[in-house]
Structures are given as structure tokens and as C-alpha cells.
Amino acid sequence: MQSFSELEKWVDEVKNLCQPDSIHFVTGDKAEEKSFFEELVRDQKAIQLNPLLRPNSYAFFSDPSDVARVEKRTFIASNKKEDAGPTNNWIEPQKLKKIMTKLYKGSMKGRTMYVIPYVMGPIDAPISKIGIEITDSLYVVVNMIKMTRTGTQVLDKIKNETPFYIGLHSIGAPKKNGVIDSMWPCAKMQKKYIAHFPDEKLIWSYGSGYGGNALLGKKCLALRIASKIAYDEGWMAEHMLILKLTNPDLESKYILGAFPSACGKTNLSMLIPTIPGWKVETIGDDIAWIWMKEDGKLYAINPEKGFFGVAKGTSYRSNPNAMKAIEKNTIFTNVALTDDLDVWWEGIDKEKPKHLKDWQLHNYDISCTYPAAHPNSRFTVEATESPVLANEWEDPNGVLISAILIGGRRPSTIPLVHEALSWKHGVFMGSMMGSEITAATISDQIGMVRRDPFAMLPFIGYHVGDYLQHWIDMGQKANQEFLPKIYYVNWFRKNDDGQFMWPGFGENSRVLKWIFERVDQKASAKLTPIGYVPDRDSIDLSNLDVSEKDIEALTEIDVNLWFDEVKSIRAYYKTIGNKCPIDLVNELNQLEFRLKNY
């Protein structure tokens, strides 16, 4: 959409379809936010936490059917089925619109319809994108206020003819006369639809109020729709953290990192190095928009304004900076509550209190054997609450990228770190990355690898083969001298006793240091069939408590396991079909050839 009058017309159409009681345009100012929280507490949708322990913070508890993104209810409804590719659910767009229009009819009865103008990216950055989300969930509104730049200034841009992308969200639970609203109203699983119409750049979401299903700026616009816009326009929307790494000489580099969920992405972006003199600061923890300037170099911005992090497992040991960020002004979802109204979750590294309320607000004591907080419990907090936010985090010019990390959970095969031989080889590494399935419901999948190219499997808004080709093309267009180097890291390798060999967390700074010095051509490496692996003395292992045997094993290349890997990647490429880039098949063949000659 292009103009304010189009926006007004759309708001009117939605009003007539969804039939809310009233309409509220979100201004984004502090007084408004305060009144939203007061309303949420008054309506018993949220619990205010103890202001002495956790000032200005609130806890929400969702319906058990509505606790995470629902991939099976997420659709890429491109005009042609072929364009959605083999990794997305597809429904013919007109058919899907018909189904959803029926659901939207009267779906906001008894509720307020909020119109949220927001921008993904710093307001004046050349690649920032404006969005309008209409929602009937005040929980969504207060989360969007923390996660995106919201409010009247965005409407002013629209009045000046800046184009924008629209998204319609309804929890799908109209109020009924005489029936008391539940704490987290939402629709049944079979009625949830998270729909994207990439040809129109349109988002329709129905039935879920949780995270990426409902905060439409995040995965829906900033990844699924933006990835398609980026493909058409020649830039990239990626599921990546952005960190700033500074060495003892106060030289800095910016690094991207793509990891599937539950691999410590937020932790890495806020890491405290164990090696003296090094510093990590955060630019973003989840999404990066990357583009090439006229100098042929790649720059990135974080389109978000906050962190929507997994609470479970977050502690002063695993991520002290996140713990400090959430000391106040934070929204918590599906955590457990202590008797004095503070938050608690498994892995918080505080003794479990004798009594809690679990994430369903049921009484919980030591006799309970299930987790008190939901495994996907979350905190929502503005980035500015972080003690390690880099100064340039909202520089509209972006930051120059020197290296790209990719990784997943691989108990075997993949060494601690290896460097790609070239950009194309790096794209090959990104195409085959993924995590081993450890507790799958289908038992014969255990031990298999779920391939998750660049951690984008659930977020590519078009054909995965075109996506991988786009990665190759971006490298070809760039100034070859300044192409970021690509690194596959694996913090999760296990020894024969099933123990993690690498301590992880702050010790990962040793790998970051090696990468920094590789980029500067200062650190040495061993050339192997799979890429460059650190030399024994090029990686800083001083004062590290890891056995010699494990150090050896962490960088060892087991040729037989790699032959199995090649076989498995070949089978995976078959599933991509004839759009699988020929360059990647060549990379696979060359890898096999190098292994045979090793």
C-alpha cells in the first residue's frame, strides 16, 4: 500500500468484517503503554509482578494450545504452488482467503481493534520497512511496542507516501454475552492460520496470540515476507544475530550468526568473553537485514527494537547480560511465579522454591515432576535495557560484516569450528546445516539431521532452491576482497561417554577470537577436505579446563562419518528438487572427491 487514504479504506474494511466495539490507533507514547498494562491487569489478562523485585513487569499465561509458533498451521500462499517450494505449506490463495474471511467475520465482537503503525529497522535507514498491524489482542500491542518502533511518527511517514505492508491479526475469540472471557482467549488448533500472501506482500493471522504467530512484525514480516522482497530487490532477510567483537587493541568487527532455535543464539549475542581484553556487544539477537552498498561490501541492520528471548535456561551463569536486561520493564510469558510474585523457571540457577504457581497458574510443589515453566517461556524486553548494547545498534547505515557463523546441535561429525574455502563453499555449509533430532516423536528419526538451511527453514517465504541460489548470487555480485568469511561452529559435539566436550558460553570467545584473527589473516589453520580447521596453537586455549584428548577430538575429521554426511546431504538435495543450485551439487561432489583423496 502507498497512501494514507488506502490505509483508511483498509481499516474501514477490517472494521466492517471483524465488527469490533471500538478502534484505537496506537500512538506509542509512555502514558498510553502504562494505561494498556493497567487495563490488562484490571481485566485479569496479566499479573503485575512485585514492583520491589521486578519493577514495571508483567506476566502472561497462555492457553495450553497456544504456546509456540505452529509450523503446521503456517502457510505461504503464493499464486503458484511451485513458488512456495517443498518446505512450505501451501493453499491456493483465493481458497485460503475465503476460509479466513469466514473466520474473521465478527471475530472481534466485544473487543477493541488496535491499529499499530510500526517500522522494522531504524526509522531513517534506507532498507527499513513500515508495517501496519491490526490486532484485537492487547498482549500483542504491548509486545509490539517493545519489539518494534511504533507510533505516530510512522503514520507521518505514511502520510508522506512511504509504502507500507499490512497484516491482519485476530485471536479468533469474539466475546459472547454473559460469558466471562478467559485469561488467554484464542481459537482451536484446526482454526489457527498464519497466512502469508507473498505476491501481495500481505499477512493474515488468525486464532493464535503467541509470539511469532501474532507479533506480525517479527517472523511474518521481517523474515517470511521480507525474504521474498529481498529476493526480488537483491538484498537478504536472515534469521541471524549481529554481534560486535572488540579485541584488546580496541579494533572491532561485526559478525552475523545463524542458529536454529535452542542453540544459544541470544546467549552468543550477549556473551561475556573468558579471554582477557575481549568484548562482545549486541546489535541484534534474532534477525538481520543485509544489503550491499555501492562499495560492494555487505552491511547489516537489526530490524527489531527488543528481544523476545527464551526464559528457560537463562541464568546469571548462562547469560548474565540477559538477566540484567530483564530486571525491570519486562513482559514474561508462561514462566512460573514465586509466592512473592517474582518469576522462576527451570535453569534459572536459583534454588527451586518450596511452592510456586506453574505456567498454568496451578499450585506447584516439590512433589510435581513436570516443569513449572513452559519450555518455550519467554521474556520481552526493549534492547535498550541490555547492559551490552552496541552504540551503533540503530545506525541507519548498518554495520560492515566481516564474518558469518552458522551452526546447530551436532553431537558428532562437525568439528568445533571450520572455515569455508570460498563463499560458494560457505553457502554449501549453510545449506546443509541443521540439528540432530534427539527426542523426536517418530522414533526412526532419532539420530537423523533436520536440515535447516541458514536456520531459515520455517521462515523462507519462497522456494528454498531459489533462496540458496540467491545466496550464491549475492556473493558473486560483491567485492570479492571484502566478502565475509563463513564459519561452521558446533558447540555441541559429544565424546564417547555422551558428554559435551566444549564448555560453551563465555568460552566460545576463544573461537570468536580465532575467527577475528583469521579475518585479519593473523591466525593459522590446517587445510582439510571440509575446510580450514584451527591449528593446535592458533586457537587460544590458555586456562581452559578441557582435556588434551577432547581438544584433539573437537577438531578431528572422521572421514567415514563425513562419507555418511555426504550421502545424507545428497538425499536432502533430492528433496529440494530441480531448483537445487548446481553450484551446491558441485560443492558436494568436490567435498566427496577431497574426502576420497584425504
Please report, as ranges, the residues that interact with ligand SAT according to CB under 6 A. 69, 211-212, 218-219, 261, 308
d(CA 259, CA 434): 8
If you write DSSP's letter for every residue of 225-294 in order, what string do you get? Answer: IHHHHHHHHT-EEESEEEEEEE-TT--EEEEEEE--TTS-HHHHHT---SSTT-EEEEEESS-EEEEE-T
Scanning 266-274, 279-287, 473-481, 573-581 for contacts with Mn ion by CB under 5 A, the matching segment is 279-287
For Mn ion, the closer CB: 28 or 264: 264
d(CA 309, CA 305): 13
Choose from Mn ion, ligand SAT, none: what does 69 bind? Cβ within 5-8 Å by kind. ligand SAT
488 annotated as a binding-site residue:
no
Cα distances from 407 to residues 156, 437, 493, in angstroms, run: 41, 14, 11
Smallest gap, in angstroms, from Cβ of residue 273 to ligand SAT? Answer: 25
For ligand SAT, the closer CB: 187 or 588: 187
Smallest gap, in angstroms, from Cβ of residue 60 to ligand SAT? Answer: 14
376 annotated as a binding-site residue:
yes
Smallest gap, in angstroms, from Cβ of residue 121 to ligand SAT? Answer: 17
Smallest gap, in angstroms, from Cβ of residue 346 to ligand SAT? Answer: 18
For ligand SAT, the closer CB: 289 or 516: 289
Q: In sequence order, which residues have a C-beta less than 8 Å from that of residue 212 and are 6 or more positions away?
A: 69, 218, 219, 220
For Mn ion, the closer CB: 214 or 553: 214
Smallest gap, in angstroms, from Cβ of residue 317 to ligand SAT? Answer: 23
Considering only CA atoms, which of 435, 443, 445 is closest in space to residue 413? 435
Q: In sequence order, which residues have a C-beta less than 8 Å from that of residue 539 and are 6 or more positions away?
A: 510, 511, 513, 514, 523
450 annotated as a binding-site residue:
no
568 annotated as a binding-site residue:
no
222 annotated as a binding-site residue:
no
Grid cell at residue 36: 494498556
Choose from Mn ion, ligand SAT, none: what does 61 bind? Cβ within 5-8 Å by kind. none
For ligand SAT, the closer CB: 218 or 485: 218
Among 33, 133, 286, 452, binds Mn ion (CB under 5 A): 286
**How many residues bind to Mn ion according to rule CB under 5 A?**
1
Query: What is the end-to-end Cα distance of the chain in Å, rounded?
Result: 57
Which residues are known catalytic residues?
263
Count of C-beta atoms within a 10 Å radius of residue 365: 11
Choose from ligand SAT, Mn ion, none: what does 211 bind? Cβ within 5-8 Å by kind. ligand SAT
CA angle 120, 488, 553 (to 5 degrees): 145
- Cα 272 off chain centre by: 21
Choose from Mn ion, ligand SAT, none: what does 581 bind? Cβ within 5-8 Å by kind. none
CA atoms within 13 A on the CB side of 408: 24
Indicate the Cα dihedral angle 411, 412, 416, 418, nearest 10°. -130
428 annotated as a binding-site residue:
no
Mark the binding-site residues for substrate, compressed into ranges: 69, 210-212, 261, 376-378
Site residues, Mn ion (CB under 5 A): 286
Mark the binding-site residues, compressed into ranges: 69, 210-212, 219, 239, 261-267, 286, 376-378, 409, 505-508
Mark the binding-site residues for Mn(2+), compressed into ranges: 219, 239, 286
